[in-house]
Amino acid sequence: EDRSISTGRVKNMELTGYAVCVIPKLRIHEDNIMERFLVSTNELYFSRILSEGDSSIEVGKIRQVDFCVTKKLRRKLRYTLVDGEGNEVHEEKSGEGSEAVGREVNEVLEERSCQRKNNLD
């Protein structure tokens, strides 16, 4: 059953491997602001999540600095990015042309950096 696991207030959430399967089951306190939200796995483990509707999985407020999630998974999540003071930050949407390609390259590098960071922890 979705949203059946209450997490209360969570400061850091790092899900790797098979653990990402619990994301749709999480019920995070509405006033919670996560400092860090990292998801590191291959598509095998989040195939069920990819079948969910876009923006259908609520994960709440997350600090913009440590939000490391693949683009495919990010589309399925409903979240609010905030700055260090808790103010909402609007994400840039992918455009067209070289700017979009640059963003895609940066996103791939960011995902690899997050994965390396996870392996070091």
Global pTM reads 0.71
The structure tokens listed for 76 are 């399925």
User: Which pLDDT belongs to residue 83?
Assistant: 92
Residue ranges of E strands in the chain: 5-8, 12-16, 26-28, 33-34, 36-40, 57-63, 67-68, 77-82
The average pLDDT across 1-16 equals 90
What's the alpha-carbon Rg for the chain, to the nearest Å? Answer: 14
26 pLDDT more than 90: yes
pLDDT greater at residue 93 or residue 82? 82
Burial of 83: CB neighbours in 10 Å, binned 0-12, 13-18, 19+: exposed
Whether residue 50 has pLDDT greater than 80: yes
Q: How many domains does the chain have?
A: 1
Q: Which residues contact 47 (CB under 8 A, 6 or more apart)?
A: none
pLDDT score, position 118? 55
Domain that holds residue 18: 5-120
Averaged pLDDT for residues 74-83: 94
pLDDT average, residue stretch 31-43: 91
Nearby residues of 19 by Cβ (< 8 Å), 6 or more positions away: 41
Averaged pLDDT of the chain: 81
Give strand pairing partners of 14. 38
pLDDT band at 94 (very low <50, low <70, confident <90, very high): very low
Here the tokens at position 68 are: 């490391």
